[in-house]
Amino acid sequence: MGNCNVCAKADVVEDSNNNRNKKSNETNRARKKEPKPFTDEPARSTAAPIRVLKDVIPMSHRTRISDKYILGRELGRGEFGITYLCTDRETKEALACKSISKRKLRTAVDIDDVRREVAIMSTLPEHPNVVKLKATYEDNENVHLVMELCEGGELFDRIVARGHYSERAAAAVARTIAEVVRMCHSNGVMHRDLKPENFLFANKKENSALKAIDFGLSVFFKPGERFSEIVGSPYYMAPEVLKRNYGPEVDVWSAGVILYILLCGVPPFWAETEQGVALAILRGVIDFKREPWPQISESAKSLVRRMLEPDPKNRLTAEQVLEHPWLQNAKKAPNVPLGDIVRSRLKQFSVMNRFKKKALRVIADHLSVEEVEIIKDMFTLMDTDKDGRVTFEELKAGLRKVGSQLAEPEIKMLMEVADVDGNGVLDYGEFVAVTIHLQKMENDEHFHKAFKFFDKDGNGYIELRELEEALADESGETDADVLNDIMREVDTDKDGRISYEEFVAMMKTGTDWRKASRQYSRERFKSLSLNLMKDGSLQLHDEITGQAVVV
Amino acid sequence: MFAKKRSQHGGVVSSMPSSNAKKLLRLPHVFAKILELPFPSDDDVLVEETPQFFRFVASCNAGGVRALAIEILPGITKIVIKRMDGGDVAVAGRHQQVPSGFGLWRFRLPPGTQPEMVTAVSIGGKLVVTVPKIKSRAN
């Protein structure tokens, strides 16, 4: 690789006695600070500014960054640099500029790291999952790296926001990271600092491309070459780095740590102190007992184990990770929504007024044979003592049986919100109501039939009397306040009765997660059908064997 | 009844993400020898290097201080500055101490230094930290 030679020829930057460089000009970006005179110290002249990029990259060598780009607002801040929004004066293209202050380049090692980062980013071929370096500049205060702009935020932030990922979504991220590692290694680059903070999404969409952004600790390597320098980040460092004898396999370990975090939300090697984290890494014990690991597929756990293999000789390579069945069959991985999505939906159910819950049960009574059969079979599957009611334990065991990924807190919430009469168990009607809500039926025909059920006199409106009558059937008593609250909530035009449009609007409240719900329903019923047929304990009718439920 | 259920759900919802969030943190890099000072990462610190030592000088109003060389593992040493009573020196601009030093002023010490021999004094409104070099090396 030509650039390796360029690196080898680079002049050694001599350490200055004073690494601090006073700013001769206040720039717009710089924070204003009071000067801090050291009056007790003898006066010393400012050393010549450090030359960082000399001989590394000839491009744009003698021009200033402001000749071609306008620097704008701050996008982010890391340990060595600040990233600004950057606009090309000619093309108006939006870019990102990582400005590394020379005040942060405190040793020759720091300087070498920046040179190498530039050399590596210039060497790696263009790749959809690696941010592209467009130009480099140097002035007295900073080294500037102009790169393509990624506006979707960090992988780190999405993990924290979601809690953890479904298997399918985690597999997509893992494949991207493994592909980045494979590409780096095949080009003789070891990353050495893979972590969720170092991956940015190109845009804010759920399925946005993910890009590696920071090669500040990366290094060129030749096959068989060993390294002893301790570099990396807590949680993600491989044990052989801590033992000072490692090669590129360390990146697969880091990717394995990220995959573990994606699937459950916390690092596999965790402690309160840096020392504790390091000891946990060396101990190498991986916890697959805590939630949600028991619900995660064996294939996913197999991949995690083999990426977090303590002996680098036995660890999968990036190539082998990409060939692993769990990644190869990623589209078949469970995609049941977990975490906040389910909790949010269950909260919606809990605040739903009783009229809507009643309507859901009416819809249940009008489901097609195929639709109702599956829900009934699910209920029967869970009702193991056949008493016509599902307890919390039965619900939990049943959800496991159908392959649900719900964690215990979510199952508890499901029980609490579905149990309308508060007696601690779910009857069939309650079970169906919450099941339908989770699926979010979109067939308007169901709405028509339910509406007709309530509209006894067929005049096109649900009157207060009809509402009272319908709810009295269920609770055996009528509460005027409850009726008035429902009417106030649903009767949006305040004409004292509920029109069909108002009814549908009520039923569709909270449909912003429609797509996720559709996928959820499809996966749920597919999973149920498959498990029931394997189980052999329930016989499905021939006409619906193998059929997907229409959502 | 619904009000009670709602408060319960709120409890369930808040406990799950926060317990995970406490365990996944942004942490600074690990190096073999690192000096961490109780200042924001952008603060002005004078770094002086001689054949015998590195010296770091910064304005600091802390009272008595001492330097601790923490051995994270054999081969990994971190120098931190503590008050004489062992407590943390307050960092300007930070109301809460962030675990493990993210955002603090740090210096990656070169291989030829002896962090375990570090000394620190607070005198005349300045903190002075000295890290000796290994004597056998002639610069």
| pLDDT tens column, B33-57 | 999 999 888 888 999 999 999 999 9
A-facing residues of B in 79-98 (CB < 8 A) are none
Q: Does B124 touch chain A (CB under 8 A)?
A: yes
List the one residue out of B34, B51, B54, B57 whose CA is nearest residue B123. B57
Look at residue A353 in the predicted model and tell me its pLDDT.
63
- Does some domain include residue B123? yes
Could A20 and B47 be called an inter-chain contact, meaning their C-beta atoms sit closer than 8 Å? yes
Could B12 and A413 be called an inter-chain contact, meaning their C-beta atoms sit closer than 8 Å? yes
Enumerate the residues of chain B whose CB falls inside 8 A of the CB of residue A16: 49
Contacts of A326 (CB under 8 A, 6+ apart): A167, A171, A297, A299, A300, A302, A303, A333
Look at residue B132 in the predicted model and tell me its pLDDT.
96
A98 is in an annotated binding site: yes
Exposure b/e, B61-85, CB count within 10 A at least 16 = b: ebeebbbebbebbeebbbbbbbbee
Enumerate the residues of chain A whose CB falls inside 8 A of the CB of residue B16: 163, 339, 343, 409
Number of domains in chain B: 1
Domain edges within chain A? 63-146, 151-334, 367-441
From CA A57, how far away is CA A80, in angstroms rounded?
20
Enumerate the residues of chain A whose CB falls inside 8 A of the CB of residue B5: 350, 416-417
Could B23 and A163 be called an inter-chain contact, meaning their C-beta atoms sit closer than 8 Å? no
Q: Does B138 touch chain A (CB under 8 A)?
A: no
Q: What chain B residue is nearest to A16 in terms of C-alpha separation?
A: B49
Query: Distance, in angstroms, between A538 CA and closest chain B CA?
Result: 34
Count of Cβ atoms closer than 10 Å to residue A7 Cβ: 19
Look at residue A522 in the predicted model and tell me its pLDDT.
40
CATH number of domain containing B63: 2.60.40
Listing DSSP states for A372-422 in one string gives HHHHHHHHHHH-TT-SSEE-HHHHHHHHHHTT----HHHHHHHHHHH-TT-
pLDDT category, B113, cuts 50, 70, 90?
very high
Q: How far is CA A335 from CA A296, A517, A548, in A?
A: 11, 11, 16
Report the top-level CATH class of A151-334. Answer: mainly alpha
Q: Which residues of A are catalytic?
A: 193
- Residue B114 CA to its chain's centroid (Å): 18
Could B50 and A278 be called an inter-chain contact, meaning their C-beta atoms sit closer than 8 Å? no
Q: With a cut of 70, which residues of chain A have pLDDT below it?
A: 1-49, 54-62, 332-353, 365-372, 401-407, 409-410, 413, 417, 420-422, 437-444, 472-479, 509-551
Q: Does B137 touch chain A (CB under 8 A)?
A: no
Count of Cβ atoms closer than 10 Å to residue A72 Cβ: 14
Q: Which of B8, B30, B31 sits opposite A416 (nearest CB)?
A: B8
Q: Which of B6, B49, B99 sits opposite A15 (nearest CB)?
A: B49
Look at residue A22 in the predicted model and tell me its pLDDT.
31
- Does some domain include residue B75? yes
Place of tokens 């939300």: A265
**What is the DSSP-derived secondary structure letter of residue B41?**
T
Could A274 and B107 be called an inter-chain contact, meaning their C-beta atoms sit closer than 8 Å? no
A367-441 folds as Recoverin; domain 1 (1.10.238)
Q: What chain A residue is nearest to B49 in terms of C-alpha separation?
A: A17
Q: Which of B8, B27, B71 sits opposite A234 (nearest CB)?
A: B27
Enumerate the residues of chain A whose CB falls inside 8 A of the CB of residue B53: none
| pLDDT for B93 beyond 60 | yes
Helix or strand (DSSP H, E) at B81: strand B76-83
Q: What is the CATH number of domain A63-146?
A: 3.30.200.20
Instruction: Judge residue A457's burial from the number of C-beta atoms within 10 Å of its C-beta, 0-12 exposed, 13-18 middle, 19 or more buried.
Output: exposed
Q: Is the dihedral of CA A402, A404, A409, A410 positive or negative?
A: negative
| Whether the Cβ atoms of residue A414 and residue A395 lie closer than 8 Å to each other | yes
A453-505: pLDDT as tens digits: 888 888 888 888 888 877 765 555 566 777 777 777 778 788 888 888 888 88
Residue from B4, B15, B16 whose CB has the most chain A CBs within 10 Å, to mutate: B16
Three-state secondary-structure class, residue A143: strand
Residues A249, A251, A253, A254, Cα dihedral to 10°: 170
Look at residue A336 in the predicted model and tell me its pLDDT.
53
Could A36 and B23 be called an inter-chain contact, meaning their C-beta atoms sit closer than 8 Å? no
A-facing residues of B in 46-65 (CB < 8 A) are 46-50, 57-59
From CA A153, how far away is CA B110, in angstroms rounded?
34
From CA A114, how far away is CA A485, in angstroms rounded?
65
Q: What chain B residue is nearest to A410 in terms of C-alpha separation?
A: B12
Query: Distance, in angstroms, between A339 CA and closest chain B CA?
Result: 9
Instruction: Judge residue B39's burial from the number of C-beta atoms within 10 Å of its C-beta, 0-12 exposed, 13-18 middle, 19 or more buried.
Output: buried
Contacts of A347 (CB under 8 A, 6+ apart): A413, A417, B6, B9, B13
**Secondary structure E strands in A467-520:** 498-499
Choose between A507 and B109: higher pLDDT. B109
Strand A81-88 relative to strand A69-77, pairing: antiparallel
Residues A444, A449, A451, A452, Cα dihedral to 10°: 140
Look at residue A118 in the predicted model and tell me its pLDDT.
93
Task: Find the domain containing B35 and state its range.
Answer: 27-132
Enumerate the residues of chain A whose CB falls inside 8 A of the CB of residue B71: 275
Q: Does A413 touch chain B (CB under 8 A)?
A: yes
- Does some domain include residue B139? no
- Residue A492 CA to its chain's centroid (Å): 38
Enumerate the residues of chain A whose CB falls inside 8 A of the CB of residue B21: 160
Q: What chain A residue is nearest to B60 in terms of C-alpha separation?
A: A36
Could A108 and B110 be called an inter-chain contact, meaning their C-beta atoms sit closer than 8 Å? yes
Query: Distance, in angstroms, between A216 CA and closest chain B CA?
Result: 11
